[in-house]
Structure 1
Amino acid sequence: MTREKTEIGILKGLCANLGLWKTLQQHNITEQDFTNPVRQLVYRMCSSMKANSRLTAEMVQRLANNDAEANAIVTTYIAIQDADHEANFKLFVTDLATIKRQQQLEALQQEYMEQRNKATDKESADLDYARKLLAVKDTRIQFENTSAEEIIAEHYKQEKRKQAIPTFLKELDQYCKFYRGEPNVIAAGSGVGKTTTMVNCAAKAAEAGYKVLILTQEMDAMNLVFKALAIISGIEEAHWRLENRLDDTPESFASTKEKAIRLLTQFLDGRLVLENQILSAEKLCQRLEYAEEQGFDLVFYDYFQLCKADKPKANGDYERYAEVSDLIRQCVKGKGFAFVWLSQITADLHDPGNSKLKNTSKLKDDAASVLIMFKKKSDPLLPGIHPNLYCYINKNRYGLKDVELPFPFDYKRQRIGNYSFSDINERARSRILAPAALDLFDKRIKIEFPIFDEHMNAIPPIQSVGNNQYPALSIPPAIGESIEVNVP
């Protein structure tokens, strides 16, 4: 179809229904896109009369320059009107938008080649062309009225969001991740395993090089350390818990403690920070602002229903929690880290898709992803035993949802899924756990535990190893305690 017929088809449909004007605006079709003065005049007539339902012969007579011009317009665009004019309108608009975009791209390419041949700074010419090219990729953007810097900034912001952080549950990462700049949710009933899921994701992310912050109000931070030690070592969690070491000889206890610190230092040093503080919604926002400055990639909060506003404006649980959810959503919007709430659910054992987040529906609305962890009834042949922990993707703004995935769950070792380390760290783990003495080459690291103040956020101190500096491992046992340990 020729461009002339496309333009006439658009104007016939527009004259028949001036409400279609919005479609032209959405596709950035302007008066200059019509190549004939008469068609441009019809466009202007429709623009001035767009508050009406359709363009009539009387309107044309009033707006035309002379009777001959008015008669020609009425004959072509108004005298014969049928349903096909409106039905085909959007097809014609799409065709014209495609033609316009192609012409813009060709003109930009020609301009770019001419400028680059003349430019002394080739890189600057390339960047300028990239900005203009990015602007015309979206036909709704008018490059003449939009700053190229704004377009580029928004583009890279979206690209960064796409570079989401893996959950490190391998099967789940095919469908869903933790998205930066938005809240994400891990939800489960009490005792199902949401905290264990969090520690699995956090430990593996830290081992992979991401910087992770865990804010916990429900569980003491040392309990999370024991879980992390079980996950990293593959040795049962009970082995690491202090209450299970009380009957050891002093030498055995010291050896276990030393191995624990070396494991955490080797795998998580400066990349996993645990804080056990009571934070209101407002203080949580302050902590998140500081987390952005510290360069964290992933922040967990355990758990949502424990977070309350200092001075709630709403009445009732649903309204108060909605207020908290909206406050945090606004706080993390556009941030460089992914924020993950842990949340309780009102369980539905027959269909996890019908499970509701406890005391709130707003949290799901605000989240980019919602993962519901649950267990199924035991196999009748093995009463009381079921090897799997299931994950149901309840919401996924950037991928598939309504997907149910089973994960092997080793409760004693706190491992979910097929947990493995990089080859280098796997060898290091084997050496640290080996019963034989290690040659430590006299390298020493001083690990300082931060002092926690109820009105202040903890700032991890810096530790030096040779010429390198690392944030110290943040685990709060005793206030102000410091320990010197050997590392391989």
Structure 2
Amino acid sequence: RLVEQQSQDVDVEQILMEAEEELTNMTALEIDDKVDAPSELAKLGYDEVERRFLRFKEIKELHKGVLPLDGLTTGFDNLNHLTLGYKPGDLIILGAQTGHGKTAYALHTAKAVAVDSGKSLLYLNTEMSREQVALRWGSILSGIEHDRIRSGDINETELSIIFNGYSRLRESGFYSYPCPNLTPEKTISIARKFKAQKNIEMMIIDYVGRMEKSDPKLAEWQILEQIVKTQKILAQNLKIVVMCLVQLNSDGTLQGAKRMKNECDLMLKLMPIPREELEENEDLKNYKNPNYYIIIEKNRDGRSGVRIPITFDKERQILKDAERIQ
């Protein structure tokens, strides 16, 4: 048709516009084949609110007010209250500076989801060897200093405690996939495989800055934006949670953060609390040993701009909610 009309001196731009319109008409309903009428959406909202009301009431009566989550636990009570958990289809971005807990946060999440809750989780690691990941788990699950475990400077009692920790790991849903040459395309095939074979409910990428560039001409923030978009689509298609770890600049900023924030459902930063703030902030004095904040930069389903004080024990690679002083 295009050749025919071109031969008749028809405007090419007009032909392209007509062709595009025809294609749009053909595919419009294929993209979103379900359109909600007002009555359907209202009924969905009513049913959903009623379901949540009844669930919360039941839990409050039977389980002493334990917070009902919409998805997977975050591993932090305060973060659970603000997010209601990591939900299927969610893309979470966690940013931290070099040496300030990206991997510790990832494995803390994995412990809460895969070890404590028994859910299947895939951990894509671009930096560490299998041995390094295994040794980190030894410290996290035993509470014994990581450096001592690495050097072997432990006694027989501690060895037994560490072995008990590995027994918990053995029975968990944690799957670790070391992949130094990770690409966005590879994450898709790996995630689909583990969804089909292990029914994973969450995937953590540690970290996206180490993923191979698809185009060397692109700037770092452009590459990160592409990766984030890919992972959001993947999370929605597989109905899993995807967490991407990113590296912050020395001033705590992230290049291209605005674009990435648009794509994600939850953007978090793990930041050390400055010494001056620890000394001057009266609210922090109500907590026992707070040394880091989880900062909620974006929360699609709740409040943003919130700083949650936590305690990060670097020697044991353990994170927890900062304990309030009674």
TM-score interval (norm. to shorter): 0.5 to 0.7
How has the CA–CA distance of structure 1 residues 202 and 316 changed in structure 2, closer, same or farther, with 3 Å as cutoff? same
2:148 alignment partner, SS class: helix
Question: Aligned-pair distance for 1:314?
Answer: 6.5
Match of 2:292 in 1: 389
Work out the CA distance in 1 between the residues paired with 2:217 and 2:229: 12
Contact 1:182/1:334 (<8 A) preserved = no
User: What is the one-letter code of the residue matched to 2:124?
Assistant: L
The answer to which structure, 1 or 2, has the higher relative contact order (CA under 8 A, 6+ apart) is 2
Work out the CA distance in 1 between the residues paired with 2:277 and 2:298: 31
- TM superposition outliers: structure 1 runs of 4+ over 4 Å: 255-259, 379-382
Cα root mean square deviation, aligned: 3.3
Specify the structure having the higher radius of gyration (Cα): 1
2:311 to 392, 408, 417: 408
In structure 1, the gaps of 5 or more residues are: 1-133, 142-150, 349-354, 420-488
Work out the CA distance in 2 between the residues paired with 1:381 and 1:299: 34
1:209 alignment partner, SS class: coil
Work out the CA distance in 1 between the residues paired with 2:183 and 2:241: 20
**Identity, % of aligned positions:** 19
Q: Does 1:297 align with 2:201?
A: yes
Q: Does 1:275 align with 2:172?
A: no
Work out the CA distance in 2 between the residues paired with 1:307 and 1:357: 17
1:50-73 Cα offsets, whole Å, 9 max, x none, are xxxxxxxxxxxxxxxxxxxxxxxx
Match of 1:223 in 2: 132
2:128 alignment partner, SS class: coil
Work out the CA distance in 2 between the residues paired with 1:263 and 1:356: 36
Question: Aligned-pair distance for 1:135?
Answer: 7.7
Match of 1:455 in 2: none
User: What is the one-letter code of the residue matched to 1:378?
Assistant: R
Q: Does 1:233 align with 2:136?
A: no
Match of 1:173 in 2: 80
Match of 1:284 in 2: 187
TM-score, normalisation: structure 2: 0.67
2:190 alignment partner, SS class: helix
Number of residue pairs matched? 253
In structure 2, the gaps of 5 or more residues are: 1-36, 53-68, 280-288
Work out the CA distance in 2 between the residues paired with 1:341 and 1:370: 10
How has the CA–CA distance of structure 1 residues 330 and 416 changed in structure 2, closer, same or farther, with 3 Å as cutoff? same
Question: Aligned-pair distance for 1:392?
Answer: 0.5
Match of 2:275 in 1: 378
Work out the CA distance in 2 between the residues paired with 1:380 and 1:392: 15
User: What is the one-letter code of the residue matched to 1:237?
Assistant: H
TM-score, normalisation: structure 1: 0.46
Match of 1:322 in 2: 225
Contact 1:288/1:332 (<8 A) preserved = no
Contact 2:88/2:241 (<8 A) preserved = yes
Match of 2:168 in 1: 266
Match of 1:442 in 2: none
How has the CA–CA distance of structure 1 residues 365 and 221 changed in structure 2, closer, same or farther, with 3 Å as cutoff? farther
Contact 2:78/2:321 (<8 A) preserved = no
Question: Aligned-pair distance for 1:313?
Answer: 9.1
1:292-327 Cα offsets, whole Å, 9 max, x none, are 212111211111111234x43973333333222222
Match of 2:262 in 1: 365
Contact 2:119/2:172 (<8 A) preserved = no
Work out the CA distance in 2 between the residues paired with 1:396 and 1:360: 14
